[in-house]
């Protein structure tokens, strides 16, 4: 059985990883077909043709779903914060939960107030 001590195994794996990654990128660049056309050079807009300038229009409905996901994860983390504070009810944890609750409620309130402005 071979025993590699210290960090030799880490550096060996790192070197192999970098070598494989470099070879894969180089091979891809050399063998990939290069046939540019107007469709490939066009900006991707989720399957819709792009319109207007990026800074001149409001964000469409995709942001709404992203915001809902952020609110869901914040509330999911809120549940874990509450459960953690139940197992260790000290004044510090109660203050941390209160601060977290205030921050989350301010963020959710801001998201809901801006939702009507962001989505047409």
pLDDT, tens digit, 9 for 90 and up, residues 23-32? 999 999 899 8
Collapse the DSSP code of 46 into the 3-class scheme (helix H, G, I; strand E, B; otherwise coil) and give the result. Answer: coil
- Please check whether residue 42 is in contact with residue 50, taking contact to mean a CB–CB distance below 8 angstroms: yes
Hey, where are the domains in the chain? 57-118
Q: What's the pLDDT at 3?
A: 61
Residue whose entry in the numeric block shows the structure tokens 């059985």: 1
Query: Phi and psi dihedrals of 37, rounded to 5?
Result: -150, 170
Residue 119, pLDDT > 70, answer: no
Residue range 34-89, pLDDT digits in tens: 888 877 777 666 666 666 665 555 555 566 677 778 778 877 777 777 777 777 77
Confidence of residue 5 (pLDDT cuts 50, 70, 90): low
What the block records as the tokens of 50 is 């792009």
């Amino acid at each position: 059985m071979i025993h590699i001590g210290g960090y030799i195994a880490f550096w060996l794996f790192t070197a192999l990883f970098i070598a494989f990654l470099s070879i894969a990128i180089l091979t891809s660049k050399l063998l990939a077909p290069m046939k540019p056309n107007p469709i490939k050079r066009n900006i991707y807009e989720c399957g819709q043709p792009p319109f207007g300038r990026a800074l001149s229009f409001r964000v469409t409905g995709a942001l709404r779903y992203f915001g809902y996901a952020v609110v869901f994860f914040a509330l999911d983390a809120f549940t874990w914060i509450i459960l953690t504070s139940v197992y260790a009810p000290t004044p510090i944890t109660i203050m941390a939960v209160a601060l977290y609750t205030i921050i989350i409620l301010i963020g959710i309130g801001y998201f809901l107030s801006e939702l009507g402005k962001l989505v047409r």
